[in-house]
Amino acid sequence: MNKIILPIQPSPIISYLRVGRLLYASLILFIIESWIYGVQLMKSISSGSVFWIMFWTLFFLFSFVHIYLVIMDGWSRYQNYKRIKDQFFIHGFNKKISLIYIGSKCQRMAAETAAEELGIKDQVRQCYRDFGVKWYHYLPYFMVKEPLFLFKKMFWSRTFLEEFYKPKFDYRAIVKSQIA
Whether residue 100 contacts residue 127, with contact meaning beta carbons closer than 8 Å, is answered with no
Residue 117 — very low, low, confident or very high, per pLDDT cuts 50/70/90? very high
The Cα 118–Cα 114 span in angstroms is 6
pLDDT over 90 at 151, yes or no: no
The amino acid sitting at 115 is A
Angle between helices 105-118 and 12-19 (to 10 degrees): 140
pLDDT over 90 at 145, yes or no: no
Phi-psi region of 133 (alpha: psi -120 to 50; beta: other; left: phi over 0): beta
Please report, rounded to a whole number, the percentage of residues in the chain having pLDDT higher than 70: 97
Model pTM score: 0.87
pLDDT of residue 2: 53
145 vs 66, residue with greater confidence: 66
3-state secondary structure the chain: CCCCCCCCCCCHHHHHHHHCHHHHHHHHHHHHHHHHHHHHHHHHHHHCCHHHHHHHHHHHHHHHHHHHHHHHHHHHHHHHHHHHHHHHHHHCCCHHHHHHCCCCHHHHHHHHHHHHHHCCHHHHHHHHHHCCCCCCCCCCHHHHHCCCHHHCHHHHHHHCCCCCCCCCCCHHHHHHHHHC
Indicate the domain borders of the chain.
12-174
The pLDDT tens digits for 63-115 are 999 999 999 999 999 999 999 999 999 999 999 999 999 989 999 999 999 99
